[in-house]
Structure 1
Amino acid sequence: MSSTWSRRVRRVPAAMLVLLTLAASATAVTPASAATLALTQYVNPFIGTDDSNAPNPVPGGAGGSTYPGAVVPFGMAQFSPDTPTASPSGYRYGDTKIEEFSLTHFNGAGCPNNEDLGLLPVTGALGKSPGTNWTSYASSYTKANESAAPGYYKNKLDTYNTTAELSATQRTGMLKLTYPNTTSARLLVNTGRSATGSRDGSISISGRQLTGSVTGGGFCGSSRTYRIFYVIQFDRAPSGFGTWLGDKVTDGSSSAGGTNSGGYLTFDTSGNTTVQAKVGISFVSVANARANLDAENSGFDFAAVRAAADKSWNTVLNRVQVGSGAGSDLQKFYTALYHVFQNPNIASDVNGEYFGFDQKVHTANHTVYQNYSGWDIYRSWSALIGLLAPNEASDIAKSMVLDGQQGGLLPKWSHNSNEHFVMTGDPGPIIVSSMYAFGVRDFDTTAALALMDKSSRGGTMQGRAIRGRESGYLDRHYIYEDPSDSLEYSASDFAIAQFARALGDTTKYDTYMQRAQWWINVFGRDSGYIQPRGSDGTWAWPVTPSSDAGYTEGNPAQYTWMVPYNYQGLINLMGGPKTAIQRLDHHFTKLNGGLTQPYFYIGNEPEHGVPWAYNYAAYPQGTSAAVRRVMNESFTTGPGGLPGNDDLGATSAWYVWSALGMYPATPGTDVLALHGPLFSSVTINRPNGTVKITGTGAGQGTQYVQNLSVNGTATTKSWIRYSDIAGTATLNYTMGSSPSAWGTGAADVPPSYNDGFTPPAAAPNLGTNLAQGKPATGSAPCTSAEAAAKAFDGSMANNSKWCSNASGTKFLQVDLGAARTVSSFVLEHAGLGGETTGWNTGAFTIQTSADGTNWTTVVNVSGSRASRTYHPITARSARYVKLNVSTPANNGNDAARIYEFEVHG
C-alpha cells in the first residue's frame, strides 16, 4: 500500500553528496574473510523520502515514505524530523520546514502514522500556545545544513539559529541541541499531537526530568489507540519551565494532561550553548521507560551513543558483504538492506514486559516484536529475514504466535498491540510459513498451525474476522466482490498447506491445497485474465485489463500473474510458454505503470514476483533483463529513489534479493528462482554457515547467466531450494552480456504445485511461425503505426498490433514467400495486449490460397470472445493466408485489432 507529492527533488543534501563521493571512490569491497567491513558509509537515509516516477500510484504511494532519522535495527524508537507536507511518512525531502522531532515512525507505510511525542527546540517567548498553534512554531532550514547516516540525523533550525543532532538506542532517543547565546532557549514537548490527530497526553516536570504518556493510534482510519510512556532527562537544570493545555500556557506549572497538552523547559545558554536530552519510552509504564533509559543510555555521551548506533548497523549490514560494485549500486544495495532491518519493532522492555494483543501486560523471555504490514511483507521480506536474521526471525515468529494467542489470530496489518485489518487476504500464515521454509524453527509450530486453521473457521482477531469473506469463499470457491481478494485467500491457503505438510498434518494439507487451487475460478478462459465474476457465477464482460475498478490496488493485467505456486497451470491456460513470454514482454513495456496501465508496477507489492514468471516459461533471459531494468531504472540514489512505498521493508527486500541473484518466487515455500547476481562476489554470513556467491563477469551490462554450479555441481536449473544454501554453500555463476541456453530446458523450470488441481494440457509446440517477417497487406490501418506487418512481427510489446476500421469486413493477408505446408493458426486478439477484451474479434474466417486469387475457407468462427484461439486444420499447401474479420462484438467504432496472427505447418 502506498501520497502524491507534486514537487520534484532539486537539490542533493550535503550528506548525500558525501555518501555519493565515498561510494564512487570505493568501487570494490572484497570480502576476503569474515572481517567486519565499514559498510554504513554506503547507506543514504534520504533515499525514498520523496516522490518516485509512478504515473498513477496507489493512494499514499507516490514515494518510498521512508524517514531519515535515527534508529537502530528493529528499534522501538525512531527519532526523526517531521515536516509539513510529509504524510504519510513524517518527513518529505522537498519540504524546507521542520515541525518537530518525534520518537516513532514507520518505514514506508501508506497511511499517516505515528509521530508520537514531538520535541521542538525554539528560542524566545511563547507568543501562542503550542497546544493549538503547534505548527506556527515550525522552523525553516537550509538543505546544505542537513545530514543523515545510520543512527544519526543533524539539521540547523534557521528560525531559531539552533542545531539539533539525533541518535538512538533500541528503546531510547538522544537529542543534542546547540542553541545561540540566549536566556530563552526552550524545548517544547508535545504530548497531545500525533500524525493522526490530537489525543490525551500527560506531562510532569521535576527538575531535570519529564515524565508522562502520549496516546497514539488511528492508523488508516482506525479508532484503535495505544499509549506510550516516556521519561526525558537533561544534562543540566532548566532555568524555567511550564505547561500548556489547549490555548492556555502556564509558566511555572509542573504538570498538565488532556488533549492538546504539553510542556517546556527553558535554559540559559549564554554561557554554555549545548543542551542534551535523552528519552526512554515504553508501552507498559513510566517505570519501564526509566529502566530502558537507565539500561541503554545511562550517561550523556552523545558521541558514544552515535558510535554505538553506527556499530549496530555495521554489524547487521555485514551479514551480507558484496564486492566489485559501482558506487551507486553499493549505495542502493546497502540502503535497501538498512531499510529491511527497521521493522518490525521491538515492543518489549529490558525487563521482558510488553503490552499484548489482549490489552494486558505480559512478560516474555525473548524479545517481543510488533508492527507487521502483512500484505506487503509476505512476498519477499519474510523469506529474506529468515535467511539473513534467523535468530531475530524466530523471535518474530514467536511474537506473531503470541499475538494470535492473545488476540485470536495471527496478525494481518498490526500497529503496536492493535490489529487494523488494512488490505486484503490473510497474510499472517504466509509470513510464518515462509520464515519456517527458510529455516526458522524456534517457535511453537503446533500453535501456529492451529491459529492458521482457526482463521478459516470463524476465528476473530480482537473481535473481528480477518477473513471477512470466508463464508462466501467456501460456498462459491471464489470471492465475487474482489477477484484479487480471492487470489489472496488462495495464496494463504497454499501457505497453510505447505506448513501443514511440513508438520506432518496430511489432513490439513489436503484441505488447504485443494482450496489453494480455487484461483482457477477467477481466471476467465475467454479473456485470459483474472476477472470479476458475479455471485451467480457469471463472468463480467468485457474486461479492461488496465482498469483497477473492483481490484485491490491493481488491475487485471497485473493480478493475472499472482499465482506463483502454479505458474504451470496459469501458463498453460494462457496458451503455453510462447504466449506467456509474449504477454510478459508486453507487460514490461513500462516498469512502474501505476494502477491504470496494463503494465508492470514495481511500486506496489502484488507484482513483485512477476519478473520470475519468465523462469517458469523456460525463458530466464526475460527474468534477467526485466530485473536488471527495474534495478537500474526504478531504483535510484536520489530522494525519489524508491518506486513506491517501502511498506516496512518490502520494496527494499525486493532489491536486496534481486542484487543477490535469486528471489523467493513462491511465498510459503523454500523455492528460490535464480537470475544471477549484480556483484562479482557476495558473502552471506549466517549462524549456520557462510553462503558464498561468485559472479564471474558480473556487473552492469552482464545480467545473463551463462552457467552455474551449486555446491560444486553444475546445473541448468533456474532455481534452488533453501536447503541448498542452509549451511555452508557456494553458488558459482558465469555472467555474460548475451542470453545463453542456461535454464531453457523443459526440466529446468522451478516447480509448480498442482496437488488438488489438474492443469490444462499445454498448448502444442507449433514451432516456427511461417508468417513472421513475411510481406503483409491489409485493409486500411487505424494509424500508420498499426499496419498489417505488426500482426506478424512476433511481439506483443510496445502496442505492436494491427488495427483496421475499414468499412465492412477487414482483411489481413500474408505472403509466405513460397508454397508451404500449413496445418494450424493462432490468433491473439488485442485484449491480450492490455486493451479491452470488448475488442476481441467475435467472428472471422481464415482462408488459404496457392496463387493469391483463388481462396479456400479453412476456418470459420462466429460468436467467439476469446483472447487467444488455436485452429488446427487438415494439412494443405498454400503460399497465401488471409484473415477476414467481421465487426467485433461490443465495438462501437467498428475496428478490428489483432496482436498476432501465426501460421504454422
Structure 2
Amino acid sequence: MANAAERGPKFAHDPTTLVDTSIGNNGDGTTFPGAAAPFGMVQLSPDTQLNKYASYDYAQDTILGFSHTHLSGVGCQTMGNFRFMPTTGAVTSSDPARYAAKFSHDNETRAPGYYGVKFDNGIRAELSATRRTGQHRYTYPAGSGSQNVLIETGESNGSTYAGDIKVVGDDTVEGWLQGGNFCGETGKERYRIFFSATFDRKFSRFGTWSDDTLTPNQREASRGTKRAGAWLTFDSAKGDQVGTSVGLSYTSVDGARLNRKAEQPKSFDKARGSAHDAWKDELNRMRVAGGTTADQRTYYSALYHSLLHPSIGSDVDNRYRGFDDKVHRADSTYYQMFSLWDTYRSQNQLVALLNPDETADMAKSVLHVYQDGGWLPRWGLGNGETNVMSGDPVTPWIVDIYNRGLLDKRTSRQLFDALWKNANEVPSDQSLFRGRDGNPTYLENGWVGYQNLPGYTYGDSRQAGSATLEYALADCALSTMADGLGHRGKASTLAARCDNFAKLWDPGVTSQGFSGFPVTKNADGSVAGDPDPTQAGAFHEGTAWQYQWLAQQDPKTLFGLMGGRARAEQRLDKFFDMPTVLTDPAKAASESWVTGAYDYHNNFAFNPNNEPDFHTPWMYAWTGAPWKTSATLRAMRTLFTDDAYGMPGNDDLGATSSLLVFAMAGVFEAQPGAADYLVTAPMFEKVEIRPEHGRKISVEAPGARASKLQYVSSVHTGKGELRQSWLSHKDLLRSGTIKIKLSAKPSKWGVGSAPPAMGARN
C-alpha cells in the first residue's frame, strides 16, 4: 500500500523540461534565453540589439551574434561581451547590422544550459556553458562555401572603452576588453575581462578589423572608436561543423586559458549534458507537484531565473580581480554581480535556503570587496561599484546569512566590523563608493536630509525619503547581529534606530481617506517638496503610499502611526483593492494595481513589479488577517504567465522570480535579516525542499490550486501543531513534513501570532 508521500500528484522526473528560458525576454522582464550554468561566470546568449536590456528582445527577428556575459533582468544595458557570429561567403564588413542573420522563434530550442537556433540562411548555432566557459557548435548548410566565425571584442551591449584581439596559431583566438558602464553612463571603466577561444578545426584563412577597416592575414587588432575583432574561415571540404570552447576570466588571458583547459568538456554534447544535470539538481532542490502544467512551467522557470546570479568571478585556482583592480587569491569561490537593492528582499533568501555553501562564499566575497576596496558594495558590477540605487541593502542580506548560522565566527566578526563602519561613516572619496551618503544627517537627526547633489543620478540624500526607511531596516537588522556577537553597546545603539521611520511620519498628510504618511525632510526638519503621497518625490522608484510599508521590522509601531491595527488593515485593503481581490483576483491585479514595469510613481496602489512593495502582502500577518495574504498572492499569481511576456516587471537578477517561487511555495521572509518565514496557502499540493546538505522538508497541501482562493485552516509539522503564522529558519529545516489544511473560506489560523519586531529580539 502506498504511503502518504507516494499518493497524489507526482513530481516531474526532469523539471528542466518545464523551464522556458524565454519567459521575460521582453522590455518588462529583460531576461535572456541563452545558456548558463547555475551562478556561472558565463551567460552565452543571442543578441538581437545593442544598448538595451539583456541584448535580446523577443519581438526582434534578427540575431547579431552570441555574446558571453549577460545580467538577467536588469532594466538597462550592460555587459554583452565577446560576441561570436557564424557566417558564410566573403567577409566584407565588421558592422553587425551587415552580417546579422534573420531567424524565427519556431526554429529556436531553449532549455536550461542550452540554446539552439537555425537561421533563415541555413546555419544552425548551438550554445552551452560550463561555469567559466562558453561552448559553441555551428553547423553550416551544404554548399555554403566559406565557413566563417566573426569575433567582436570592441563592441558590447554596455559601452566598451578598449579592447585587443589576437589570432594565435591556426586554431586559437584570445583577447580582452575594458568595460563597465551601467544604465547609460559613460566613462565608467569598472572591469576588464579576458577570453581564450580554441576551435576544434584549424582555420584556413583569417583577418582582423579595427572599426570599419578589415585587414586579411593580420593577427592583431585594437579597438579604434567603436569596434575590434577577427574573422576565421574554415575549409568547407573538411566538414560542415565548427566547434569552439571559450574560456573567460576577469584576471588575465592566462586565467581565461586556464579556465578553458580545466573545464573543457570532451564534446559539445557532454557540455550540454553536464549543464542539464547541474540544472536538474538545482531545480530539484525545491520541486513541486500538482497544479496545472502552466503553473509548473511558470514556477520552474522562475526558480531557474532565481539561480543565475550572483556570478562566479574567480578562476579555477580562486584568483580574482578585486575592487582595488589587483589580482588576489581567495580561499573559496569568489562571486560578483551583486544587485543588492533588488535581491535582499527575496532572491538572497532563496539562495541561502537552497545553497547555503555558495551563500557563505558569497558573503565572504563581499568581505573581500571590503578588504580590497575599503567599503561594502551596494550594486557591484564586476570589480567595480556602480553606486546605483539607494539605502543599505548589503546589511540585511549579510545579517540574514549570519542569523541562519552560515558564517564562521571569524568571518562574522569581520563582516560586522565592515557593516558597522558602513552604518556610521561615509567614504572620503565618494567617486568610487558613495556608501551611505545620508549618514551625516541621519546619524544626527534620525532621518536623511534631502539634498539634490549635482552630478549624481543616484544617492541617498537625493532619495532621502526611501533611504531613511532603508537605513532604519538595515540598522535594526544589524542590531540582532551585534547582539549575537556580544556587542551589547553597539546593539543598543542600532536598536534605537529601528523606528527611525517614525521620524518621517506626518500625521497631517491625507490621501484616499487616510491620515498620516512618511514625507521627505530637509536637514532642518522641514518638508522637502510636495508631500502628496501619490506623487513622485524623493522615494526611490515609488511613492510614499508604496513605501509606507517599509517598516516591517516593527509593524506594531508602524500601525500605531496609522491609527491602530484595524485602521492599518483598512489601509492595506485600499492598497490592494481587497473587495475586488476577493471577487475577481485577476481583475484586481490587472486593473487596480500598478501594471507597467516602470510605472513607479503617481499611484497609491500595490506595485508588484518593483522591489519596495514585495513584502507588503505579508503585512496582513501583523494586522491579524493572515488569510488576506493568501488571497493577495493568488491575485499576484495571475500576472505571471508561461510565455515571453510572462513577467510583470524587471527580474533584477532573480528578485521578481524569487518572489513568485516563495509565493507559490507558501513561505516567505517578510523581514529581511530575521531568518523567519511566514506561512501562507501553497499553490501546489506538494512542495519538497532539499537544501544543500540538509534534510528534506515536505510540504503537503491536499487540494491546493493557484486558480482558487484558498486559506490556511491548520498546520502540523513533525514537531506538532503550528498555531503561529511563522517558522524560524531553524524550525523550518527541522520540520520534516509540514501538513497544511486548506479551506475555501477565511479562517482564524495564525491570527495574533506574527513574528516579533526585530528590535525586540536583542
Q: Which runs of no fewer than 5 residues in structure 1 stay unpaired?
A: 1-26, 52-62, 758-905
Looking at structure 1, the residues matched to 679 and 607 of structure 2 have their Cα atoms a distance apart, in angstroms, of: 21
Q: 1:164 aligns with which of 125, 133, 153?
A: 125
1:218 match: 181
Residue correspondences, number: 708
Give the Å deviation of 1:109: 1.2
**Which stretch of structure 1 is more off in the superposition, 429-438 or 370-379?**
429-438
SS, match of residue 654 in structure 1: helix
The aligned amino acid for 2:89 is G
Are 1:719 and 2:726 matched, yes or no? yes
Looking at structure 2, the residues matched to 756 and 439 of structure 1 have their Cα atoms a distance apart, in angstroms, of: 16
Preserved CA contact (<8 Å) 2:29 2:647: yes
Preserved CA contact (<8 Å) 1:697 1:736: no
Map 1:21-60 → 2, pairs under 5 A: 30=10, 37-51=13-27
Cα 1:756–1:502 shift into 2, 3 Å: closer
Task: State the identity as a percent.
Answer: 35
Looking at structure 2, the residues matched to 543 and 290 of structure 1 have their Cα atoms a distance apart, in angstroms, of: 57
Give the Å deviation of 1:76: 0.4
1:295 match: 262
Preserved CA contact (<8 Å) 2:426 2:439: no
SS, match of residue 307 in structure 1: helix
Are 1:362 and 2:367 matched, yes or no? no
Q: 1:395 aligns with which of 361, 364, 378?
A: 361
The aligned amino acid for 1:750 is P
2:639 match: 634
Looking at structure 2, the residues matched to 456 and 622 of structure 1 have their Cα atoms a distance apart, in angstroms, of: 36
Cα 1:550–1:702 shift into 2, 3 Å: closer
1:852 match: none
2:458 match: none
The aligned amino acid for 1:219 is F
SS, match of residue 363 in structure 2: helix
1:683-703 Cα offsets, whole Å, 9 max, x none, are 111213121211122223152
Are 1:504 and 2:473 matched, yes or no? no
Cα 1:413–1:702 shift into 2, 3 Å: same
Looking at structure 2, the residues matched to 418 and 462 of structure 1 have their Cα atoms a distance apart, in angstroms, of: 11
1:165-218 Cα offsets, whole Å, 9 max, x none, are 100000000111111223322111001011122422111112111111122211
Map 1:99-118 → 2, pairs under 5 A: 99-118=64-83
Map 1:530-609 → 2, pairs under 5 A: 530-539=518-527, 543-589=531-577, 590-593=592-595, 594-595=599-600, 596-609=602-615
Give the Å deviation of 1:567: 0.8
2:587 match: none
Cα 1:462–1:350 shift into 2, 3 Å: farther
Map 1:253-272 → 2, pairs under 5 A: 253-259=218-224, 260-270=227-237, 272=239
Q: 1:67 aligns with which of 32, 46, 52?
A: 32
SS, match of residue 452 in structure 1: helix
The aligned amino acid for 1:490 is A
1:126-167 Cα offsets, whole Å, 9 max, x none, are 333x1xx23332221112111210000111222x43111100
Are 1:197 and 2:159 matched, yes or no? yes
Cα 1:409–1:726 shift into 2, 3 Å: farther
Looking at structure 1, the residues matched to 407 and 339 of structure 2 have their Cα atoms a distance apart, in angstroms, of: 22
Looking at structure 2, the residues matched to 512 and 736 of structure 1 have their Cα atoms a distance apart, in angstroms, of: 42
The aligned amino acid for 2:135 is M
Give the Å deviation of 1:270: 4.5
Looking at structure 1, the residues matched to 223 and 128 of structure 2 have their Cα atoms a distance apart, in angstroms, of: 29
SS, match of residue 367 in structure 1: coil
The aligned amino acid for 2:376 is L
Map 1:50-449 → 2, pairs under 5 A: 50-51=26-27, 63-84=28-49, 87-128=52-93, 130=94, 133-158=95-120, 160-180=121-141, 181-205=143-167, 206-220=169-183, 221=185, 223-259=188-224, 260-270=227-237, 272-299=239-266, 301-442=267-408, 444-449=411-416
Preserved CA contact (<8 Å) 1:702 1:735: no
**Which stretch of structure 1 is more off in the superposition, 214-223 or 398-407?**
214-223
Are 1:707 and 2:707 matched, yes or no? no
Looking at structure 2, the residues matched to 667 and 426 of structure 1 have their Cα atoms a distance apart, in angstroms, of: 12
Looking at structure 1, the residues matched to 647 and 128 of structure 2 have their Cα atoms a distance apart, in angstroms, of: 24
Looking at structure 1, the residues matched to 375 and 237 of structure 2 have their Cα atoms a distance apart, in angstroms, of: 57
Preserved CA contact (<8 Å) 1:592 1:634: no
Preserved CA contact (<8 Å) 2:9 2:685: no
Q: 1:670 aligns with which of 675, 680, 686?
A: 675
Give the Å deviation of 1:540: 5.6
Are 1:453 and 2:453 matched, yes or no? no
1:800-820 Cα offsets, whole Å, 9 max, x none, are xxxxxxxxxxxxxxxxxxxxx
Preserved CA contact (<8 Å) 1:383 1:438: no
1:34-76 Cα offsets, whole Å, 9 max, x none, are xx9411011110011114xxxxxxxxxxx11110000010010
1:641-690 Cα offsets, whole Å, 9 max, x none, are 11111111111111111112111011111221121211111111121312
CA RMSD of aligned residues (A): 2.0
Are 1:475 and 2:438 matched, yes or no? no
Are 1:518 and 2:518 matched, yes or no? no
1:539-583 Cα offsets, whole Å, 9 max, x none, are 368632221222210001100111111111111211122222221
The aligned amino acid for 2:606 is F
SS, match of residue 660 in structure 2: helix
Preserved CA contact (<8 Å) 1:152 1:167: yes
The aligned amino acid for 2:134 is G
Give the Å deviation of 1:29: 5.4
Preserved CA contact (<8 Å) 1:591 1:634: no
Are 1:644 and 2:649 matched, yes or no? yes
Give the Å deviation of 1:298: 4.7
SS, match of residue 242 in structure 2: strand
Looking at structure 1, the residues matched to 723 and 308 of structure 2 have their Cα atoms a distance apart, in angstroms, of: 37
The aligned amino acid for 2:523 is S
The aligned amino acid for 1:608 is F
Cα 1:534–1:288 shift into 2, 3 Å: closer
Give the Å deviation of 1:634: 1.4
Are 1:734 and 2:741 matched, yes or no? yes
Cα 1:207–1:607 shift into 2, 3 Å: same
Looking at structure 2, the residues matched to 576 and 492 of structure 1 have their Cα atoms a distance apart, in angstroms, of: 25
The aligned amino acid for 1:202 is D
The aligned amino acid for 2:15 is L
Q: How does the TM-score come out when normalised to structure 2?
A: 0.90
Looking at structure 2, the residues matched to 28 and 732 of structure 1 have their Cα atoms a distance apart, in angstroms, of: 14
Cα 1:278–1:756 shift into 2, 3 Å: closer
Map 1:879-898 → 2, pairs under 5 A: none
Preserved CA contact (<8 Å) 1:692 1:729: yes
2:580 match: none
Give the Å deviation of 1:534: 3.1
SS, match of residue 725 in structure 1: helix
SS, match of residue 175 in structure 1: strand
Preserved CA contact (<8 Å) 2:385 2:432: no
Cα 1:174–1:507 shift into 2, 3 Å: same
2:455 match: none
1:763-784 Cα offsets, whole Å, 9 max, x none, are xxxxxxxxxxxxxxxxxxxxxx
Preserved CA contact (<8 Å) 1:88 1:111: yes
Q: Which runs of no fewer than 5 residues in structure 2 stay unpaired?
A: 1-6, 451-463, 510-515, 578-591
